[in-house]
Structures are given as structure tokens and as C-alpha cells.
Amino acid sequence: MPAPTSSGIVLTRNEAMTRVAAIDCGTNSIRLLVADVSVGEDGRPRLADLTRQMRIVRLGQGVDARGYLDPAAIERTVEATVEYQRMIEKLGATRTRFVATSATRDASNSAEFVRQIKAVIGVEPEVIVGTEEASLSFRGAVGGLGGSVRTPMLVVDIGGGSTELVLGSTSVKQAISIDMGAVRVTEKFFARVDPSGGVPAEDQARAIAWIDEQLDGAEKAVDLARVRSLVGVAGTVTTLTAQALGLTSYQPERIHGARLSAAQFDQAVRFMVDQPTSVKASLGFMPEGREDVIAAGALIWSRIVTRVLARAEAAGHPISDIITSEHDILDGIAMAMVDQA
């Protein structure tokens, strides 16, 4: 009989499914996945979704300036967790893992937040380091893409407080987590921008210069010249993909696996940077609470795409299209709960 996994669950090939709940609590949003997990013939976990949920709670609002999580933001996040716990109980998940990332890592009062969450879900929330966040994002993305992607691939996860760059094939080879996300860039550079218009050119220029500095540092850890495929995951990239595809509502089945050119993404980026917040909020695919930070996220994605494609071109293996994945850290969290020993 196989030894138990690190999660205490024993799985063998073709064994009955195990129902798990994964919660990803970031700087901007909190997300839930409840799924049945089985082990395929190749020994890898397979996910069958029962529900995916997302609430924008802005847990990390102002954390850079204050150094701690705002009590109102904690309250919003706890309320969303209470709602999620009801879903978890109704669906009968036998194991829950709650992972907190950038905002909670950087807050002086994270212990109080962890205490309140544990009181709701009954398990200890994990405040993970950036490298583990990167690894889980990569695993989730790879698991959802199949074998049709050229490797090594670069998985890019733009969050509210951090951005992960992860290079690998079936496993991670190089990775870095950068303290640069859509909420952080918005608060740092666009806090005084009038929402009735687009982002002024001078504010864009300041933000771009800072983003490029962060990417300069990231290239010391991740060799972008090795990238054969570029994969974007999480809310910024999926929202830009919806815009580029001309969607009028959020359609994950069309967004997942979409292959777009740099020019298509650039048009979507320009729209998100140049349009008033009210116009972005009216889009059928825009989640409430993302409209005021999507411009910053779009600029981060634009600078990454430009840099990666330039490095690939110079290395003699140009990248013609960019892939979007609906699967990310949330899937990675669920898969990690049922690893085979």
C-alpha cells in the first residue's frame, strides 16, 4: 500500500476521487476551488471542478503605506471566507487548504488575520513565501495546458501584490516572485489619476520605468532567452484576453488556451490604460473591483510580453503567439494536497 501523502491522503492509480477545497487569498481577490481529484495512469493528479468562485476583497489595500492589513479589508475577507466555508460544507470536501500570499506576507498583523480565518475554516491558513507561490502557479498552469506547449515555458502570474515568473518544462527550473502587482502599481503611481479619464502619459512613463527596473532584477534569476512559450495566468491576463477576443461576457472556455499575438494584447492593454474607469466597469467580463487596477496590471503584462519576445527573437527562436491559461495557483494548491508519496 502506498505511503500517505504530505496531506495525509493515500491515493493509488484509478482509486476513487478525493474531494478537496483550495482557497487562494491574494492582495486583490480571494478565490475558491472545490474539486474531485483522482490520479491518472501517468501518476499525476487530475481535477474535476465542482465550483470555482472569486470575490474581490482588496485585502492588501494600503498595506505598502501602512505596513498592516486594514481592519475593514480583513472583515471583507473573513465574510467571503464564511461564504466559502458554507459551499465547502455543502459540497462535502474532506480536506481544505487556505493559502495566503503577498499582502499577508508583508503585513505586521498577519497573525491576527490568520487567527480569524482559522476560526472560520478550522484549519491553519498558510502564509507562503514567493518561491512556493511561483511553484504552485506553475504546477496549476502546466496541469491545465496538456502537452501541446513548447518548452521551456515561462508562466507569468500577475497578482495584486506580486508577480511570479516561472521557467520550466514539467517542473520548475528557475523562478522569482517580484513585489510588483496590479494593486501595488496602482497605489504607487496612479492613486491621484482622475478616474473619468485614462492614465496620463507621464504617469504611465513613471510606472513603466519602475516596472522595467523590477524586470531587470528578475532577469538575474530567470533566463528569458530560454523561453519557448509564454503563458499568462490569473485575473489581469484573463481579463485582457477577454477584451482581445471581443467577448461581451466572461467565457472561461474561450479564454483558456487562447493564443493571441502581441499586437492583439497591445490593443487590449491600450484600451485598459486609456479608457475611464466607468467604461471598464461596464464591460460584461470585468469583475467588480478590478476596473480600477486593470490599467496597472495591463502595463505589467505589456512590459513582460515586450521583453520576453525580444529575448526570444534575439536568441533565434521567435515566439509568434502568447497563451492564456485559466488554471493557476488555485489548481496547484488542490493538486499539492493529493501528491503521491
Better-scored residue on pLDDT, 41 or 283:
283
For 328-340, what is the mean pLDDT?
A: 82
Task: Find, among 280, 278, 277, the residue nearest to 268 by Cα.
Answer: 280
Per-residue pLDDT reduced to its tens digit, 72-125: 999 999 999 999 999 999 999 999 999 988 678 778 888 899 999 999 999 999
**Is 77 in contact with 57 (CB distance < 8 Å)?**
yes
262-274 and 235-244 helices cross at what angle (nearest 10)? 100
- Does any domain span residue 308? yes
Domain end (from 99, 130, 161): 130
Evaluate the CA torsion angle 275, 280, 285, 290 in order and state its sign: positive
Say yes or no to pLDDT of 50 above 70.
yes
Q: Which of 181, 174, 303 has its CA nearest to residue 235?
A: 181
Mark whether 163 and 297 lie in a shared domain. yes
Domain annotation covers residue 13: no
What would the mean pLDDT of 289-294 be, rounded to a whole number? 92
Q: Across all residues in the chain, what is the average pLDDT? A: 89
Query: For residue 173, is it within any domain?
Result: yes
Residues 181 and 214 in one domain: yes
Q: What DSSP assignment string belongs to 283-339?
A: STTPPTTTTTTHHHHHHHHHHHHHHHHHHHHHTT-----EEEES--HHHHHHHHTT-
Segment 220-232, tens digit of pLDDT = 999 999 999 999 9
Asked if the structure places residue 6 within a domain, the reply is no
| 211/307 same-domain check | yes
User: Residue 45 — pLDDT band, cuts 50, 70, 90?
Assistant: confident
What pLDDT shows up at residue 289?
86
C-alpha cell of residue 26: 491574494
Residues 258 and 315 in one domain: yes
Quickly state the pLDDT bin for 42 (edges 50, 70, 90). Answer: low
Owning domain of residue 115: 18-130
**200 in a structural domain:** yes
Q: Which pLDDT does position 11 carry in this prediction?
A: 42
Nearest to 31 by CA among 114, 130, 92, 101: 101
Do 201 and 115 share a domain, yes or no?
Answer: no
- Work out the end-to-end distance of the chain between its first and last CA atoms, rounded to an integer number of angstroms: 11
**Coil vs helix vs strand at 123:** coil
For 171, the grid coordinates are 517542473
Distance between CA atoms of residues 138 and 166, nearest Å: 6
Q: Which of 123, 155, 138 is nearest to 324 (CA)?
A: 155
Cell numbers for 182: 496590479
> What DSSP state is assigned to residue 161?
S
> Do 237 and 119 share a structural domain?
no
pLDDT band per the 50, 70, 90 thresholds, residue 16: low
Residues 151, 108 within the same domain: no
Question: By mean pLDDT, which of 6-15, 175-184, 317-326 is the weakest?
Answer: 6-15
Q: What are the tens digits of pLDDT across the range 163-207?
A: 999 999 888 999 998 989 999 999 999 999 999 999 999 999 999
Checking if the pLDDT of 237 tops 80, the result is yes
Q: Tell me, what CATH number does 271's domain have?
A: 3.30.420.150
